[in-house]
Amino acid sequence: MERRTDTFNAAPRGKLDLSSDSERLKNMFRSNLSKEADLSWLSPLSFSQGTAGSLAVHLPHELFFRWFSDTGRALLEKAVRETLGPLKISYEWPGRPMSAFPLPSPLHPSPSAASSFDDFISGGKNREALHLFRRSLHAQPGPLFLHGPSGTGKTHLLQAAYDCLEARFPGKNIFLSCRELISFFRRSPEQARNALLSCSSVIVDDIQELENDACMQKELASLIDSMDAFFIASCQTDGNGEHGQKLLPLLYDRLCSRLSLGLEEPDLDVRLRFTQAWMEKMGLPDSRATALFLARHCLRLRHIRGVLEQVLLRYEQNDVLPSEAELSALLSRAGAPQPVDCDSILSAVASRYGCTTSELCENTKDSRLTLPRQTAMYLCRELLGESYPSIGHLFGGKDHSTVMYAVRKIEKLKVTNKDMNIQLTELTKLCRNALPRRDT
C-alpha cells in the first residue's frame, strides 16, 4: 500500500474508538462539515485503525487520491481535528508495494504559495538566467543550482520548477525545505535515501542551512552521484556576496556541475511591477503613487508583500490608501531593508542646479531642467545600476529611449567638457557619501 502521513496539532474535542465502522465515522464527519460543502468524495472512503492509534483512510486508487487532495482533503482533515483530536492520519490505496520510507507531506507547496514561471516578474538582469533555468527542466536530468540574495524569487522559481516537472513526471517529485530534508534523514537515513532515489526530481530550498552539518552534506553528495534525476537546490547569498562557499567542496562542486545560475536583486522597475500586480490581486485601488513609493523604499519583494497586507487592512478599515507618511511608518515597523534609492542623487543634483527634486521628476519639457534631469538620470544609472525603464518610471514615466539618450549625452560631455567632468566627480562623491548602507 502506498501511504502518506500527516500529524495534526489540534486540541482534542472528544474521544472515539477508531475500531468503529466507517459509516459511523462518515456520519460524524458529515455532521461536522458545512451542509453546503460538496461531500461527494466522502462516499468511496473507508476507515480503519492504523498503527499507534492513527486513523487510516482507504481510497480506491491513486488517481482518486489526487482528485481528493484538491477537493476534500482539507475538509476531511478539519473534521478529523475537530472530531477526533490530534491524530496522525495516513492515506492508503491499492498499488505497487512501497518498501521505502513514506515521503514527507506536503509533497507540493501549499496552493496559496503555488507559483508559475509566467507570473515571475523579471527584469533584464535575470532574464537570461530564467530562460536557461526553464529550458534545463526539459533537458536531461542532473543538478541545477539557483543562488542569489534573499527576496530575489528563488523559492518562487523552485515551486514553478516543481509544477513543470510534475507535469513531466506525475507523482514522482518532491519539494522540501532544507530543514524538512534534515528531519527526513534523521528519522531513517537508509529509508529516506531509498525514497529520494525513487523520485524523478528532488527540490531543496535554502540548502545553505546545511553549512554546519558535514554528515548531511556528504550524504547529499553521495545521493546526487547515485540518482539519475533532477536535484534542484537554492542557496542564499551571504553578506559578502558569496553563495555556498561554506558548504563542503564535495557537495558544492556537485551542485555546480551542470547549471549554476545567479539571480540579482530586483531593480526599481521589477519592484514597481511586482507591487502593482499584487495591489491588483488584493483588490486595492490602482495607485501608481503608492506602488512607486513602496517600490522605491522597499528592497525585497517579500517585504513589499508584507507591507501590502497591512495596507489592505488599513484600506478595508478606512476605505482610503495610506499616505506617504503612513507608508513610511509601516515600512519602519516592518523592518524592511531600504534600497539604495535615488533620493540622495536627486537632492544633490537639485541643490547643485538650483531646482527642486519634484521639478526633476516631473514629465515636463522645461529647457531649464533638461541638463539637471539628464545628469540625475546618468548618476542613477552609474551609481545604482538601475535599468533604463526603472529610471524612466522615476522621472515622470519617461520612455526608456529618452533615458538612454540622456545617459549617453552625459557620458560624452564627461569626456569632452572639463567642467562637466569636474561637476560629475563632485556629485558622485557627494552622492556616495550620502547613500545609506545596503542591508544584506
* Residue 192 within any structural domain of the chain: yes
Instruction: Assess whether pLDDT exceeds 70 at residue 212.
Output: yes
Same domain for 298 and 201? no
Q: How many domains does the chain have?
A: 4
Distances, alpha carbon 192 to alpha carbons 195, 202, 222, 346, in Å = 5, 12, 13, 57
pLDDT, position 115: 63
Least confident interval from 42-56, 180-194, 216-230, 274-288: 42-56
Same-domain check for residues 398 and 317: no
Q: How confident is the model at residue 433 (pLDDT cuts 50, 70, 90)?
A: low
Residue 98 located in a structural domain = no
Using the predicted structure, report yes or no on whether residue 296 has a pLDDT greater than 50. Answer: yes
- Predicted local distance difference test score (pLDDT) of residue 371: 93
Q: pLDDT value at position 281?
A: 87
Same-domain pairing of 222 and 310: no
pLDDT score, position 143: 94
- Do 234 and 377 lie in a common domain? no
Q: Does residue 99 form part of some domain?
A: no
Q: How far apart are CA 291 and CA 277, in angstroms?
A: 9
Q: Which pLDDT band holds residue 51 (cuts at 50, 70, 90)?
A: low
Last residue of a domain, one of 262, 297, 325: 262
pTM listed for this prediction? 0.56
Expressed as residue numbers, the domain containing 169 is 111-262
Instruction: Looking at the structure, tell me whether residues 59 and 12 fall in a common domain.
Output: yes
Residue 377 CB coordination number (10 Å): 29
Average pLDDT for 88-94: 77
CATH number, domain with residue 239: 3.40.50.300
- pLDDT band per the 50, 70, 90 thresholds, residue 189: confident
The answer to whether residues 294 and 366 belong to one domain is: no
> How far is 428 from 383, CA to CA, in rounded Å?
8
CA separation for the pair 245, 252 (Å, rounded): 7
Final residue of a structural domain among 229, 262, 295: 262
For residues 121 and 204, state if they share a domain: yes
Which pLDDT value is given to residue 38? 75
End position of a domain, from candidates 228, 246, 262 = 262
Per-residue pLDDT at 10: 34
Assess if residue 100 is contained within a domain.
Answer: no
Residue 422, domain member (yes or no) = yes
The answer as to whether 104 is a domain residue is no
Asked which of 128-137, 145-154, 370-379 is least confident by mean pLDDT, the reply is 145-154
- The pLDDT tens digits for 237-270 are 875 556 667 889 999 999 998 899 988 877 777 8
Q: In this structure, what C-alpha cell is assigned to residue 424?
A: 560629475
What digits encode the pLDDT tens for the residues 386-395? 778 878 888 8
Same domain, 314 and 373: no
The per-residue pLDDT of the chain, averaged, comes to: 79
The CATH number of the domain holding residue 57 is 3.30.300
* Residue at 51 is within a domain: yes
pLDDT of the residue at 13: 38
The arithmetic mean of pLDDT across residues 284-304, rounded, is 84
Q: Are residues 198 and 181 in the same domain?
A: yes
CB 117 within 8 A of CB 160: yes
Residue 218's pLDDT band (boundaries 50, 70, 90)?
very high
Whether residue 7 has pLDDT greater than 70 = no
Query: What pLDDT score was predicted for residue 186?
Result: 80
Q: What percent of the chain has pLDDT over 90?
A: 17
**Residue 301 shares a structural domain with residue 224:** no
Q: What percent of the chain has pLDDT over 70?
A: 82
> What pLDDT, in 10s, does the model give residues 297-348?
777 787 888 889 889 988 988 888 988 888 888 887 766 555 545 777 888 8
Burial class (CB in 10 A: 0-12, 13-18, 19+), 186: exposed
Torsion of CA 298, 299, 302, 307, to 10 degrees: -10
Same domain, 319 and 236: no
Kindly report the CATH number assigned to the domain that includes residue 393: 1.10.1750.10
Residue 213 lies in a domain: yes
12 and 44 share a domain? yes
Across residues 177-181, what is the average pLDDT? 84
Please compute the mean of the pLDDT values over residues 170-196 and round it to a whole number: 83
Please give the pLDDT value at position 241.
58
DSSP state string for 299-329: --HHHHHHHHHHHHHHHHHHSSPPPHHHHHH
